[in-house]
Amino acid sequence: MNIHEYQGKAVLRSYGVSVPNGKVAFTVEEAVEAAKELGTEVCVVKAQIHAGGRGKAGGVKVAKNLDEVRTYAESILGTTLVTHQTGPEGKEVKRLLIEEGCDIKKEYYVGLVLDRATSQVVLMASEEGGTEIEEVAEKTPEKIFKEYIDPAVGLQGFQARRIAFNINIPKELVGQAVKFMMGLYRAFIEKDCSIAEINPLVTTGDGKVMALDAKLNFDSNALYRHKDIFRTS
């Protein structure tokens, strides 16, 4: 079971994971009002569909003023986005995420998946963020680092630190990155996730570690425990 990016970020925020401020919009006027409320010089207009590859398909736009927010919202809402994950039929955009812009210094990938062969959760990370992890695995597998997590004790701080150093997070931000990964793991376990991908995880010009995009999939057998999440998905 999938949820939209804005819903996933709300889940992560509740676990102390840093995400940009943003608001969901179902109409053009709501998009403009959301941008006004954010009050940032730059905001991002993001199509909300259950598929990746939105940026390449024209579903993510950077707006520098309210007129651009309106223009992009009008051009995206109600359209059908076709990406490498939607199939040729595409998916209709019925809602947008209006989000504050970030001064991105570097992009990374961080993800949690269940390895069924070992029955363990695996923390994976790479400094090659912003691209499909499958592509990184094929072309430069040495740039993907993994930590297998003992279910009896959970993700340990030293494992998160090792990942942070392996993917070359700046030393002064390692503490933030560790907190980020620990929060992501707690969300993964407590919300019965099957996949939690942050691509990209970014470091910013003002010294933050944030989830710029978030993909959470859930164990369908556990949906009854999380009805609040799926009510509007």
**How do beta strands 91-92 and 193-204 pair?**
unpaired
The beta-strand segments (E) located in 67-137 are: 80-81, 91-92, 96-100, 104-115, 120-126
- In what helix (H) or strand (E) does residue 24 lie, and over which residues does it extend? strand 22-25
Q: What are phi and psi of 129, to 5 degrees?
A: -85, 165
Considering only CA atoms, which of 103, 38, 95 is closest in space to residue 66?
A: 38
Taking the C-alpha atoms of residue 153 and residue 49, their distance in angstroms, rounded to an integer, is: 35
Active centre residues (catalytic): 109, 197
Give SS3 for 36.
helix
